[in-house]
Structures are given as C-alpha cells and as structure tokens.
Amino acid sequence: MRGAAAGTEAVAVRAAAQAMFEAGGHHVLPATVQNAVRSAVENEASRVLAVDAGKRLLEAGASAGALTEGAAVRAVAGQTVQRAGRQLLRGVTAAAGAGALIDGGWALASAVRRMRAGKMTGRQAAVHVVREAGKGAAATAAGTAAAALLVALTGGVAAPAVFVVGGAASLGAKMGLDAWLGHGAAGRTAPTGLDAALQTGEAGRTRAG
C-alpha cells in the first residue's frame, strides 16, 4: 500500500517534474545518458509489472494517478519553475501524509493486539506507532521525490515506469530506515500489492543471476 501511494503521487507530479526538465533539467545529463536511463528504467518497470500483483496495483494506481495527473497538467501548463517546484512539494507532502497513515495504522493495530496480550505498555505502544508513522511518511515521500527527480533529469519517462520507481524507492527507503532504527519481528507486516511485486521481481532477478 505504501508503494502504491508513493507511485500514485509520483504520477500525479510527473507533469510538474517534466516542466522542470524543460526549464533546465535537460542540461544536467547528456542526452545519451538520459536515453539510456529512461530505457533501463522502463524495461525494468515492464519486468516488474509482469508480476500479477504489480498489474493489479498499476491498474488501481494508474486510475487514481490519471485523475490527479490530469489536474496537475492543467495546473503546471506554462507556469514557472517556482510554481512547478511548489506542485512537487505538495505532491511529496501528500505522499508523506499517506505513508504516515498507512504505516501508522498498521502499527496501531499491531500495538493494540500486543497491549491486550500484555506484551507492550501504553507508552511503548505510543512510541511504536509514532516511530512507524514517521518511517512510513519518510519512505513514501522519498519514493515520490525519487521518481520526480528521475523525470526532472531525464524527461518523458512513461507513467507506468514513474509509478514503479516511486514504489521501489519507497520500499528501499523503508528497508533502510528499518535497518537503521530497528524493526522488531513482532511489528512487521507482510508486504502487499506493489511492495510484494517489487520484492518478487528482485528475488527473481537474484535467482536468474
């Protein structure tokens, strides 16, 4: 769910990121590098979305993202870099809010169960929920920001690839935060949706290698 939220917001801010690319982002990398990165990302996205879970999440995320992207296209048409930047900031902020709600909700449900079982005090439960909500917010915002940066530096990356990059970056950021801050086995939840599709794709690539 977190990956889908990051991917959906990334698609929503894609037009603003494209505006920043046109305004000067295309000067950062050589054209050959831009083309190579776009091709690699889109090929990897196609492979990940071949997983059934990825297909289902893409359909759900694309429908939501299409609505917000359509509004974003109208909002950023002909606007300045500053306005495009504000649009990107709003998208990243929305992603952070969604991530906090998703991970905070899972953490709250887990904390309630553990409190009822006598395995956690009220104070420990509150700390757990706040920590997980914060990590969810940071990871989802990072995913959306990474996908937007990709578009701002390489140009017209296809929407499905932007969706996957947002989800993959969110998953990677969450794993990094879990490793850094610690994440007890009792608080873990099984990956679902896009997160599961990304992890399945990574496992398949590892076996193939």
More reliable by pLDDT, 24 or 140: 140
Helix axes 2-12, 81-116, angle to 10 degrees: 170
The answer on pLDDT for 205 being more than 80 is no
The answer on pLDDT for 178 being more than 70 is yes
pLDDT of residue 123: 92
How much is the pTM? Answer: 0.73
For the chain, which residues make up each domain, given as ranges? 2-203
The answer on pLDDT for 13 being more than 60 is yes
Render pLDDT for 96-124 as a digit per residue (tens, 0 to 9). 999 999 999 999 999 999 999 998 999 99
**Lowest-confidence segment of 18-32, 57-71, 76-90, 146-160 by average pLDDT:** 57-71
Closest CA to 7 of 128, 129, 166, 157: 166
Render pLDDT for 23-75 as a digit per residue (tens, 0 to 9). 888 889 999 998 899 888 888 887 777 754 444 444 444 444 444 445 545 44
DSSP assignment of 144-202 equals: HHHHHHHHHHH----HHHHHHHHHHHHHHHHHHHHHHH---GGG-----HHHHHHHHHH
